[in-house]
Amino acid sequence: MSWPNRITILRLLLVPPFILLLLAARESWGCRYGALAMALAMGVGDAVDGIVARRTGTVTRIGSLLDPLADYALMISALITLSIPGVLSDDPSLRLPYWVSVTLVSRAVFMLVGTVIVLLLSGFFQGLPSGSGKAATVMQFVTILAMCAAPDLLGLAPTAVWWALYILWAVTVALGVVSWLGYIRTGSKLLAAGGHTE
């Protein structure tokens, strides 16, 4: 049990309390910012465990499987929760649009299932990092953080904040779709090559 794997497992364990705080966000600003802080901690943990694993030579098979699983667990649960009207504010319009959540959740589920299929059919178990995939993950974390802070930010400059949110959502979805297509291409190549990359 290496330190990177411990950090990844901690990220998984933080998902349920994060969602509970998010569900109580409308009733308490403390819960809302507690959820924001927890999401930020999980995002930092995601970066740290990968850096530590590479620098200490402790990249393991279980770690390669747990790391994306922790990302998917957070993203899927957060995106679905943030799409529920009235979770963040008494204003039901302040939620994640369905075109954002459905696209990104579908991507996450597809990639999770695809990873399992590639593993079973080819034996390839390492993650398939790409520039667009990493950027999409970062932007999804930013989207979660922005949504947690949105109720207060809208009170300061509603028009500017709404525009910023729509731009953020559009960029996040675009990166998600691009990385999704890239993973399909890479996964197809792996299956065709029997799990061997060039």
pTM across the whole model: 0.85
Go through the domains of the chain in sequence order and give each one's CATH number.
Answer: 3-193 (1.20.120)
Pair 191, 121: CB distance under 8 Å: yes
What secondary structure, in 3-state letters, does 102-148 show?
Answer: HHHHHHHHHHHHHHHHHHHHHCCCCCCCCHHHHHHHHHHHHHHHHHH
Whether the predicted pLDDT of 77 surpasses 60 = yes
What is the arithmetic mean of pLDDT over 94-98? Answer: 94
Type of residue found at 39? A
Sequence letter at residue 138: V
Helix, strand, or coil (residue 88) = coil
**For residue 73, what are its two tokens?**
């667990």
Cα distance between residue 141 and residue 147, in whole Å: 10
Determine what percent of the chain is predicted with pLDDT higher than 90: 46
How high does pLDDT run on average in the chain?
85
